[in-house]
């Protein structure tokens, strides 16, 4: 009998277990406000339900076009960069797993060698450049991404006031505030689609349109940019309503499953990014773990689309999910 494949939750559990064995714990400290955005995002996602129609199902198609590439799934790998505990070449191996699953990967901080190796796997790669104080460095990184064959380039604007490590802010000596007129100039000088990552307000989303960005990522950087920054699922529908016809809206921060992807698509996202989940999947089983995770997320998405009567991604609408308010008082059975 062939061994059964790990499910999504089993992949996460195995990744966590393997990391813990090597002394790495990824849980937020309890009883603090540090994980508040993530917790609220989870609660909101879990309050959304589906109304299945099981008669005469039509198997759904989860494919889409993004940055001129045909992808098998709207679940992509959000911008990743190396953390001290991650093994050498880990991001290139993640890129390989992502490509095998028919998806796309974004890379954050990192050098040209790593970027080239990731591109050489054949996986579509996006470079997200930091909001550096030094404008020349931003231009250098954007040109590098362009010349090496990235499918798009962008900036995580939400780290312009530094990054959070727990509740400590650091990195402000190299990252700095960005002016929209300067970014407009930058965007006008690249042929690649430009992404603004870290949008949580309608105002920033509209500015992204004005400066010529073609994509935004609604994101709170996995609760790593601003304590109590809006949970992505709360910010997403209003931003999608405001600018969704003018540019492509992606989302990340706190999404874990294929059903989460469905819900984000229902709220106006074209595709959904996964960050820590990919790190866990890699810790579970390297490139194959990443490939399996994306395949399992996509399989769950496909099954739910089929059950709900959405034959393709563009038919997923806000009305495809139903919010069930939390029960008040004691449950009685
Ligand atoms: C190990 C790691 C490194 C990251 N590095 C970057 C980066 O360099 N640039 C960036 O824009 N986002 C970076 N992020 C944030 C992700 O792109 C993404 O916004 C976030 O992880 C999504 O939330 P999730 O982890 O809950 O899926 C990183 C995330 C992780 C887990």
pLDDT digits (tens, 9 = 90+) for 149-196: 999 999 999 999 999 888 899 999 999 999 999 999 999 999 999 999
Q: How distant is the alpha carbon of residue 30 from its chain centre? A: 24
Ligand 1 pocket test: pick from 221, 223, 257 the residue with the most ligand atoms within 8 Å of its Cβ.
221
Residue nearest to atom 19 of ligand 1 (CA): 221
pLDDT score, position 138: 98
Residue nearest to atom 17 of ligand 1 (CA): 79
Q: Do 313 and 74 contact (CB within 8 A), yes or no?
A: yes
SS3 216: strand
Q: Which residues line ligand 1 (CB under 6 A)?
A: 78-81, 83, 108-109, 128, 156, 197, 219, 221-222, 252-255, 273-277, 279
CA 59-67-214 angle, to 5 degrees, is 115
Which domains are seen in the chain, by residue range? 8-21+34-323 (3.20.20.70)
Kindly give the distance from the C-alpha atom of residue 276 to the centroid of ligand 1, in angstroms, as a whole number: 7
Kindly give the distance from the C-alpha atom of residue 78 to the centroid of ligand 1, in angstroms, as a whole number: 6
Low-confidence residues of the chain: pLDDT under 70: 1-2, 28-31, 326-333
Kindly give the distance from the C-alpha atom of residue 10 to the centroid of ligand 1, in angstroms, as a whole number: 22
pLDDT score, position 31: 66
pLDDT score, position 1: 46
Residue nearest to atom 31 of ligand 1 (CA): 276
pLDDT score, position 326: 58
Kindly give the distance from the C-alpha atom of residue 79 to the centroid of ligand 1, in angstroms, as a whole number: 5
pLDDT score, position 25: 84
Cα separation, 310 vs 304, whole angstroms: 8
């Amino acid at each position: 009998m062939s061994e059964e494949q790990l499910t999504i939750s089993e992949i996460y559990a195995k990744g966590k277990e393997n990391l813990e064995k090597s002394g790495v714990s990824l849980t937020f400290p309890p009883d603090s406000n540090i994980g508040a955005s993530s917790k609220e995002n989870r609660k909101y996602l879990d309050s959304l339900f589906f109304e299945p129609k099981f008669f005469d199902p039509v198997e759904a198609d989860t494919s889409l076009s993004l940055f001129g590439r045909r992808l098998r799934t709207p679940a992509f790998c959000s911008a990743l960069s190396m953390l001290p505990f991650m093994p050498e070449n880990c991001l290139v191996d993640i890129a390989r797993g992502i490509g095998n699953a028919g998806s796309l990967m974004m890379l954050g901080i990192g050098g040209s060698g790593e970027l080239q190796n990731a591109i050489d796997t054949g996986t579509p790669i996006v470079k997200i450049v930091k909001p550096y104080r030094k404008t020349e460095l931003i231009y250098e990184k954007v040109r590098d991404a362009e010349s090496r064959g990235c499918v798009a380039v962008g900036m995580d604007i939400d780290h312009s006031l530094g990054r959070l490590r727990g509740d400590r802010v650091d990195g402000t000596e190299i990252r700095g505030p960005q002016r929209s007129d300067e970014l407009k100039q930058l965007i006008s000088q690249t042929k690649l689609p430009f992404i603004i990552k870290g949008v949580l307000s309608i105002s920033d989303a509209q500015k992204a349109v004005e400066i010529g960005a073609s994509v935004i990522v609604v994101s709170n950087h996995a609760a790593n940019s601003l304590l109590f920054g809006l949970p992505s699922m709360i910010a997403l529908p209003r931003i999608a309503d405001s600018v969704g016809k003018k540019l492509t809206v992606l989302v990340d921060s706190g999404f874990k499953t294929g059903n989460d992807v469905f819900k984000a698509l229902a709220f106006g996202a074209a595709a959904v990014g996964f960050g820590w989940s990919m790190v866990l999947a890699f810790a579970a089983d390297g490139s194959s773990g990443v490939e399996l995770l994306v395949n399992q997320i996509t399989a769950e998405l496909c099954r739910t689309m089929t059950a709900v009567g959405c034959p393709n991604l563009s038919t997923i609408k806000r009305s495809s999910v139903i919010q069930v308010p939390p029960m008040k008082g004691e449950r009685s059975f």
